[in-house]
Amino acid sequence: MATVDRAVTHKPWGTSERILLTHDLQIERINGNAGCASSLHLHASRHNLFFVLDGCLRVDRWGFAPKTLCRGESLLVPAGLIHRMIFVEDSTALEVYYTDGADVDPEDIKRLAAGWTE
């Protein structure tokens, strides 16, 4: 059964709006402010797919070169990989979380360092 609450969560870097939550899929629409960053974090069991709708954001991934994504571009961050997003400019993106068969836990996040501004 899908849950759609459309509640907007205000974060230091912008906003996040849950679009869909099922047992194995979670979709959030994120709006980020230029120059702000998320915390450095990982998801133990959720894969994280970023798809940029407008603007540009950079995704830093532990052990990989930073990747800047602009409108129409996407990037998959596998479960367990340390990462953070940095908003190069005001940006809107979809964050799609999914698992390898387990239930999606919306609280599956381990923060390693604060972000907010670069």
In a domain, 3, yes or no: no
**Is residue 82, in this structure, part of any structural domain at all?**
yes
Does residue 83 fall inside a structural domain? yes
Q: What is the pTM of this model?
A: 0.89
Per-residue pLDDT, averaged over 26-39, amounts to 96
* Domain CATH number, residue 17: 2.60.120.10
Residue 2 lies in a domain: no
> Cα angle at 94 between 40 and 17, to 5 degrees?
85
In a domain, 27, yes or no: yes
pLDDT band at 2 (very low <50, low <70, confident <90, very high): low
> Is 49 within a domain?
yes
Phi, psi torsion values for 17, nearest 5 degrees: -125, 120
**Which range of residues forms the domain containing residue 45?**
8-117
Distance (Å, whole) CA 26 – CA 42 = 16
pLDDT, position 114: 76
Whether the pLDDT of residue 73 is over 80: the answer is yes
**Other CB atoms within 10 A of residue 85 CB:** 26
How many domains would you assign to the chain? Answer: 1
